[in-house]
Amino acid sequence: SQQGEEDPQALSIQEGENATMNCSYKTSINNLQWYRQNSGRGLVHLILIRSNEREKHSGRLRVTLDTSKKSSSLLITASRAADTASYFCATDAGGNKLVFGAGTILRVKS
Partner 1 sequence: EAQVTQNPRYLITVTGKKLTVTCSQNMNHEYMSWYRQDPGLGLRQIYYSMNVEVTDKGDVPEGYKVSRKEKRNFPLILESPSPNQTSLYFCASGPTGGGTDTQYFGPGTRLTVL
Interaction site with partner 1 (CB under 8 A): 1-2, 29-31, 33, 35, 40-45, 48, 88, 90-94, 96-103
Please say which residue, 34 or 79, places its beta carbon nearer to partner 1: 34
Least distance to partner 1, CB of residue 48, Å: 6
Contacts of 55 (CB under 8 A, 6+ apart): 49, 62, 63, 64, 65
Of 42 and 110, the one with the shorter C-beta distance to partner 1 is 42
Q: How far apart are CA 6 and CA 44, in angstroms?
A: 17
Q: Which is nearer to partner 1, 75 or 98 (CB)?
A: 98
